Amino acid sequence: MGASTVSAKTLATWTGELLAQLPAPSGPLAAVQGRGREALAALPLPSRHQEAWRFTDLALLAGLDLPPSGAQSSGITPDGPAPEGTSPQGACEDKPPTLRLQLDGRRDPLSGVVLPPGLTRLSDSELVLALGHTLAATGCEQHWPVELNHACASQLLALRVSSRAQVSLELVSDGATGLRPLRVLLILEEKAELQLCQRLTAAGSGLTSLVLEAHLGRGAKLQHGLVALGQPDGALLAHLAMEQDPESDVSLVAVSAGWGVSRLEPRVVQVDGSATTTLRGLQVVAGDQIADTHSHIAFGGPEGQLDQLHKAVADGRGRSVFNGAVRVPRAAQRTNAAQLSRSLLLSDRARIDTKPELEIVADDVRCAHGATVSCLQQDELFYLQSRGIAAEQASALLKRAFCEEVLRELPAPARLWCPFERLLAADGFESGPAPAVESGPEAPEGEAG
Amino acid sequence: MIRPDANVLLEIRGLHARVEDKAILKGVNLTLRAGEIHAVMGRNGSGKSTLSKVLAGHPAYTVTAGTVTYRGANLLELSPEERARVGVFLGFQYPVEIPGVSNLEFLRVATNARRVQLGQEELDTFAFEDLVRERLTVVQMDPAFLDRSVNEGFSGGEKKRNEILQMALLEPLVAILDETDSGLDIDALRIVAAGVSQLATADTATLLITHYQRLLEAITPDFVHVMAAGRILRTGGRELALELEERGYDWVDQELAALELG
């Protein structure tokens, strides 16, 4: 592995160079930054010698041009200009008003924003108590990507959501290059409900680091849709940590495509069980991309529910990794958990590693898990072709069908950010649905594999 | 309806085909003229289904000898989708379930592919809905099936109705129906058969592949062919189907043995 040896040398000095370039700690996270930098300096960079990073090579980081964070949101704006502040959308009475905030890691996302009823900014004293609480509860506060975020992030979005809030929150981080550390902390009070749509796009070489913590009080409900569409020379490291009190309900739908390297770590703890967690993931790789999801769900009490589906599409020389840990200790009797990993392998050179990791101590539980890896089915392709649908279009329809199972569960605004065609564009699939071609001697060949 | 002067739509001559290393078709000859309904009968393994798949261009089958001419052109050099677009339709014995692909969208894309070939305008979703609702009556199908994924969770009868609905939309000139009667109860068989009869016109030819006489009571064939060991052993009128029903297929074995000895 000559390539990784070379990059390992470069990576050896990576942390030091990064830390040297960072501006002095400042802002609401100054103390966290200071501690994070110390921790980061002491931590080795994740390497493939570590079990949790066995399949995921961060060599790409070595080539990134990091701080200071570069471009504006000049890049991609999937649905036009982004209005700041509240925009009560009166046209549809059913829909809650939308609050769209720009998260760029440099500016205070709440600057100049009037928060709608039910949302309040956390005070400094609240921050001291709450920040990092969920990271610790989900056991990831010392993970390297988290410490990286601690070291770099100078701004954060920290909100308290009360049961009065009726808002659809949109967090938009568009088109950046360079280093982009994003930090979010949400506290959902008892019975509070929040729809959170989050969009991350990249314009070029860079590293996006996201750490999101959400603490849900009893009976609270969070619906989070994350759409992360990257660039081949971009890296994404994201920790999404959720701490659930009983009767709360988390639904997380994460879609990522197009990143040179992406690592998503959804971490959920049901503090006393009796909560509901629904996880949906879709990651798409092509070219030389690596997409890795390491999810970790822990039940701290009885009668918790988990429904998890993770899907992956791998083309080119892309590599997809899924590791799904579920922890059911003795206290978590009558847990009902189901985890399914389904992967679509589109190329001989693509690679899929998928691993359920269930640790079950309680004896009265239902924990189902399964994993499938398959190619496009020849009988399905032939059936579509036999109805006049070109081979290429038939493949696109089948890929789309595979992805739709996750895409359709995104909250509506996030769904609009992520039309299937964009996923195709992001990962370099051959083509989107093409119009039917008139048959002729030069018509595309109908080989079905 | 037999008219000796009618146009030949499909002409199969000396067709040999294999799947992997196994020769299955060993010299099939068959001519379909406009207006004709042909039935191909025979035991399991006689090559009936292979014949239908070879005609539709299934990639698992390789033609090793012979020709298939469709309206004067070489059918075998067309891709499966091109065959469908020029008007050759295969009704599947086991229609494939495709989770996640909307039946309505599938039907529309397929219909438009055929329309483009015919030089007709493509239909938008609204125009297509009108058309599909009209064609649903051919098979008395519940419109609710349009909103589901292609064949997903359909009963055997519903799948076959969906096949005939596709045929009604694509308006093929040659329809090959592979055991369309299998897995159907009496009522569903009647509806499907009525649909097929309705779609068989003076300009089209139909090739029914079946085990049983049952389907042929509902759709009267002009010719009945008995297939065995990869070729057509005997051709007759509808009385041949009755004879098979009465005598079974044992005589076919004897005739085949005699043929191979001679």
Domain with A400 in it: 14-46+53-71+96-427
Query: Taking CB atoms and an 8 Å limit, are B100 and A380 in contact across chains?
Result: no
Task: Please give the torsion angle defined by the CA atoms of residues A239, A245, A251 and A256, in that order, rounded to the nearest 10 degrees.
Answer: 0
The span from the CA of A69 to the CA of A234, in Å, is 13
Query: Taking CB atoms and an 8 Å limit, are A386 and B56 in contact across chains?
Result: yes
Q: Is the dihedral of CA B24, B28, B32, B37 positive or negative?
A: negative
Residue A87 has what pLDDT? 44
Gap from A406 CA to chain B (nearest CA, Å): 11
Question: Token digits for B196?
Answer: 């097929």
The span from the CA of B184 to the CA of A36, in Å, is 69
C-beta atoms surrounding B12 within 10 Å:
23
C-beta atoms surrounding A433 within 10 Å:
18
Closest C-alpha to A225, from A248, A189, A195: A195
Q: What does pLDDT average to over chain B? A: 93
Residues of B in contact with A387 (CB under 8 A): 81, 84, 106, 110, 113, 166, 170
Query: Count of domains in chain A?
Result: 1
Residues of A in contact with B110 (CB under 8 A): 384, 387-389
The span from the CA of A440 to the CA of A189, in Å, is 64
Q: Which residues of B touch A (CB under 8 A)?
A: 56-60, 78-86, 90, 92, 95-96, 98-101, 106, 109-110, 112-114, 116-117, 122, 149-150, 166, 170
Query: Taking CB atoms and an 8 Å limit, are A439 and B81 in contact across chains?
Result: yes
Residues of A in contact with B81 (CB under 8 A): 385-391, 394, 439, 443, 446
Residues of A in contact with B166 (CB under 8 A): 387
Query: Taking CB atoms and an 8 Å limit, are A389 and B81 in contact across chains?
Result: yes
Residues of A in contact with B98 (CB under 8 A): 380, 383-384, 397-398, 401
Residues of B in contact with A390 (CB under 8 A): 81, 113
Gap from B225 CA to chain A (nearest CA, Å): 25
Question: Token digits for A9?
Answer: 């040398």
On whether the CB atoms of residues B38 and B8 are closer than 8 A, the answer is no
The span from the CA of A154 to the CA of A179, in Å, is 12
Gap from B84 CA to chain A (nearest CA, Å): 5
User: A interface mutation test: which of B82, B147, B151, B170 has the most A CBs within 10 A?
Assistant: B82
Classify A299 in phi/psi space as left (phi over 0), alpha (psi -120 to 50) or beta: beta
Query: Taking CB atoms and an 8 Å limit, are B117 and A383 in contact across chains?
Result: no
Closest C-alpha to B45, from B23, B27, B64, B66: B23
Q: Which residues of A touch B (CB under 8 A)?
A: 378-380, 382-391, 393-394, 397-398, 400-402, 404-405, 435-436, 438-439, 443-449
Query: Taking CB atoms and an 8 Å limit, are A400 and B95 in contact across chains?
Result: no
User: Which residues on neighbouring strands pair with residue B215, listed in sequence order?
Assistant: none
On whether the CB atoms of residues A55 and A314 are closer than 8 A, the answer is no
Nearest residue on chain A to B169, alpha-carbon basis: A387
**Helices assigned H by DSSP within chain B:** 48-56, 80-86, 103-117, 125-139, 156-170, 186-199, 214-218, 238-247, 250-261
Residues of A in contact with B106 (CB under 8 A): 384, 387, 389, 397
Gap from B243 CA to chain A (nearest CA, Å): 34
* Closest residue to A438, CB basis, from B58, B117, B149: B117
In a domain? residue A373: yes
Residue B105 has what pLDDT? 93
Tell me which amino acid residue A245 is: D
DSSP element (H, E) containing A225? strand A221-229
Question: Token digits for B180?
Answer: 């369309």
Nearest residue on chain B to A406, alpha-carbon basis: B100
User: Which residues on neighbouring strands pair with residue A295, listed in sequence order?
Assistant: A324
* Closest residue to A383, CB basis, from B98, B100, B116: B98
In a domain? residue A110: yes
In a domain? residue A214: yes
| A146 exposure class (CB count in 10 Å sphere: 0-12, 13-18, 19+) | buried
Q: Report the 3 state secondary structure along A53-72.
A: HCCCCCHHHHHCCCCCCCCC
In a domain? residue A347: yes
Beta strands in A271-380 (DSSP E): 276-285, 290-299, 305-314, 319-328, 336-345, 351-360, 366-374
In a domain? residue A4: no
Residues of B in contact with A435 (CB under 8 A): 116, 122
User: Which residues on neighbouring strands pair with residue A343, listed in sequence order?
Assistant: A312, A373
Pairs of residues, one from chain A and one from chain B, whose beta carbons lie less than 8 Å apart:
108
Block residue for tokens 């991309």: A289
In a domain? residue A7: no
The span from the CA of B57 to the CA of B60, in Å, is 9
User: A interface mutation test: which of B81, B89, B103, B162 has the most A CBs within 10 A?
Assistant: B81
Segment-wise mean pLDDT, segments of 10 residues, chain B, 262 residues: 89 97 96 96 93 97 98 97 98 94 94 96 95 94 94 93 96 96 88 92 96 86 95 93 86 82 66
Nearest residue on chain B to A402, alpha-carbon basis: B100
| A307 exposure class (CB count in 10 Å sphere: 0-12, 13-18, 19+) | middle
Q: What CATH number has the domain spanning B8-261?
A: 3.40.50.300
Question: Token digits for B69?
Answer: 């001419």
The span from the CA of A431 to the CA of A421, in Å, is 9
Nearest residue on chain A to B81, alpha-carbon basis: A388
Prediction ipTM score: 0.96
On whether the CB atoms of residues A163 and A193 are closer than 8 A, the answer is yes
* Closest residue to A436, CB basis, from B58, B90, B113: B113
Query: Taking CB atoms and an 8 Å limit, are A439 and B117 in contact across chains?
Result: yes
Residues of B in contact with A448 (CB under 8 A): 59, 80
Query: Taking CB atoms and an 8 Å limit, are A443 and B95 in contact across chains?
Result: no
On whether the CB atoms of residues A235 and A291 are closer than 8 A, the answer is no
Nearest residue on chain B to A449, alpha-carbon basis: B59
On whether the CB atoms of residues B241 and B221 are closer than 8 A, the answer is yes
Residue A116 has what pLDDT? 95
Query: Taking CB atoms and an 8 Å limit, are A439 and B82 in contact across chains?
Result: yes
**pLDDT tens for chain A, residues 1 to 449:** 334 445 555 788 899 999 999 999 988 899 999 999 999 999 999 998 999 999 998 988 888 877 655 444 433 334 444 444 444 443 445 677 899 999 999 899 999 999 999 999 999 999 999 999 999 999 999 999 999 999 999 999 999 999 999 999 999 999 878 899 999 999 999 999 999 999 999 988 999 999 999 999 999 999 999 999 999 999 999 999 999 999 999 999 999 999 999 999 999 999 999 999 999 999 999 999 999 999 999 999 999 999 999 999 999 999 999 999 999 999 999 999 999 999 999 999 999 999 999 999 999 999 999 999 999 999 999 999 999 999 999 999 999 999 999 999 999 999 999 877 777 664 433 333 333 323 333 333 333 32
Residues of B in contact with A391 (CB under 8 A): 79, 81
Closest C-alpha to A280, from A291, A266, A298: A266
